[in-house]
Amino acid sequence: MSAVPTIRQLLVRPRLCSIGLNSSSSPFLSYALSLHCCPSSLRVLSSSSSPTLTHEEADGSVGKGSSLIDVNPPRGTRDFPPDDMRLRSWLFQNFREVSRILSFEEVDFPVLESEALFIRKAGEEITQQLYNFEDKGGRRVVLRPEITPSLARLVIKQGKSVSLPLKWFTIGQCWRYERMTRGRRREHYQWNMDIFGVSKVRAEAELIQAVVLLFERLGIKSSDVGIRVSSRKVLQAVLQMYAIPENLFTQVCVIVDKLGKITREEMEKELVSLGVSIKAVNGIIEVLSLKSLSKLEEVLGSEGEAVSELKKLFSLAESYGYADWICFDASVVRGLAYYTGIVFEAFDRQGKLRAICGGGRYDRLLSTFGSDDIPACGFGFGDAVIVELLKEKALLPDLSHKVDDIVFPLDEVLDGTASSIASSLRKKGRSVDLVEDKRLKWVFKHAERIGASRLILVGNSEWERGAVRVKNLSTREEFEVKIDELD
């Protein structure tokens, strides 16, 4: 083992000396040497600082008269280079893990859906932000702005073949032509968890536990984030108090949800034009300002569903152990038309960001699609606001690229050997980066960059002994290992 040059020696010698052959003894080597001496014939070998071809070199377009295209993705959309992709995958793994812990099954849907699924007449913002168009077959389609209607479509399609209750989760991209603010984009990914077939608040309690478990896994505490809870039945009870017709309920909810985004006068105007009296508007606003369940009970009495369901949820929250995360806030109405009962939204307690997630009960969505209703509730949790929050709290994880081994043939004639070594290590489950046409110095830098734990050098003299040189990059130890003993 000692007659063999060490990696340190290899590093300071030209590559061909290190493998114990002279260039004239091998046609491959003289070819390799000629490449080394002639930079223009193999740029990747000679450019230790620039390992890959530039865009211009690769596509050959620039420099031949064409100008560079706009390399930014469409406004409001994102590319995911490796660092961002690692973060996204990590977040999605957490979404999946929480869903698994709560015994939900994963489903998926097309991003492109029929426009009809999203046409609602309540004046919601979401329906005004549709990415909709006609496809080549003349069908009206949309890039979905949310996933709930697709979920409902699949539940209807599966019909009696599904056994209730049904607990499904999904992670998918949604498109909304939004005004962009921090954490709000024109595309985002949403984690959805939905339960069909449970009419009791047990369903809401389970969903809120999922949200809390997710926050806890990410290192977020109840002092950072809270979950505001209310019920649309509160508003329903107020409308009954003022004898406002039932059929105005959805539109009233959508208008009332704008409070804070539009002025009170504008809201009043919209409600009055719907036929709601000023007296009722004042009554609605008064109730919406309530922040405690006992106050709500004073106003609505304890008999109605709004109060009893909310009380049940808060008592379940105590049993689950997440009561410190949730608070009653009658102003939470949510902007989507289909909610019918309890609604909730997670918010950052510093008030810097928009809603982190939101959901609620929607027991009558299926009948709007012409099917029989099934009680349902769920939430959507976006990928953008949570990342802003993690940044804000310095909770972003360290997710550098990690591989186990780098395999590097020191001579082109050993490419085959290097391939079979890499292949057998990969079959054992090790992640292996097979590198060639580089200088050893570059390989070391690369190993550091990708956090490799071993460097496996395939050189001629070791190969003749059926071995390779292995450097453990954390201990800096170096030894020769028989190829068939490598694991």
Out of 194, 204, 206, 436, which residue is the one contacting ligand HAM (CB under 6 A)?
194
Instruction: Name the minimum Å distance from CB 347 to ligand HAM.
Output: 9
d(CA 107, CA 335): 25
Looking at the Cβ atoms of 235 and 336, the one nearer to ligand HAM is 336
As measured in angstroms, the least distance from the Cβ of 427 to ligand HAM is 41
Q: Which residue has the tokens 């930079």?
A: 39
Which residues are within 8 A (CB) of 101 and not within 5 positions of it... i.e. 6 or more apart? 213
CB 151 to ligand HAM: min, Å: 7
Cα separation, 99 vs 213, in Å, equals 10
Contact predicate 284/238, CB 8 Å: yes
Task: Report the residue number, 47 or 173, with the smaller CB distance to ligand HAM.
Answer: 173
Question: Can you tell me the distance from the alpha carbon of 211 to that of 227, in angstroms, rounded to the nearest whole number?
Answer: 9
Q: Pick one of 95, 249, 325, 379: the residue that binds ligand HAM (CB under 6 A).
A: 379
Which sign, positive or negative, has the C-alpha torsion 184, 189, 191, 197?
A: positive
Query: Which residues neighbour 442 within 8 Å (Cβ) at sequence distance 6 or greater?
Result: 48, 51
Interface with ligand HAM includes 378 (CB under 6 A)?
A: yes
CB of 214 to ligand HAM, least distance (A): 12
- Per DSSP, the three-state class of 168 is strand
Q: Do the Cβ atoms of 114 and 141 come closer than 8 Å?
A: yes
With beta carbons less than 8 A apart as the criterion, state whether 107 and 167 touch. Answer: no
Regarding 185 and contact with ligand HAM (CB under 6 A), the answer is yes
Nearer to ligand HAM, 104 or 381 (CB): 381
With CB under 6 A as the contact rule, the residue among 283, 358, 375, 459 that binds ligand HAM is 358
Question: Rule CB under 6 A: which of 151-180 touch ligand HAM?
Answer: 176, 178
Write down the least CB distance from residue 447 to ligand HAM, Å.
38
Report how far residue 94's alpha carbon sits from residue 73's, in angstroms, rounded to the nearest whole number.
27
Structure tokens given for 323: 């009561």
Judged by CB under 6 A, does residue 192 bind ligand HAM?
A: yes
Single residue of 357, 407, 435, 486 touching ligand HAM by CB under 6 A:
357
Give 407's DSSP letter.
E
Contact call for residue 148 and ligand HAM (CB under 6 A)? yes
> Rule CB under 6 A: is residue 99 a binding residue for ligand HAM?
no
Q: Single out the residue of 226, 375, 380, 409 in contact with ligand HAM (rule: CB under 6 A).
A: 380
CB-based contacts of 89, cutoff 8 Å, min separation 6: none
Q: Which is nearer to ligand HAM, 112 or 413 (CB)?
A: 112
Exactly one of 195, 385, 410, 443 binds ligand HAM (CB under 6 A); that residue is: 385
Q: Is residue 257 part of the contact set for ligand HAM (CB under 6 A)?
A: no
**135 burial class (0-12, 13-18, 19+ CB within 10 angstroms)?**
exposed
Of 124, 202, 123, whose CA–CA distance to 167 is shortest? 202
- Mark the segment that binds ligand HAM (CB under 6 A) among 195-203, 266-274, 292-300, 382-390: 382-390
When asked if residue 146 is in the footprint of ligand HAM (CB under 6 A), the reply is yes
Residue with structure tokens 């849907």?
A: 109
Which 280-339 residues touch ligand HAM, going by CB under 6 A? 336
Residue 195 in contact with ligand HAM, rule: CB under 6 A: no
Say how far apart CA 270 and CA 268 lie, in whole Å.
5
Summarize as ranges the residues that interact with ligand HAM (CB under 6 A): 146, 148, 176, 178, 183-185, 188, 190, 192, 194, 336, 355-359, 378-382, 384-385
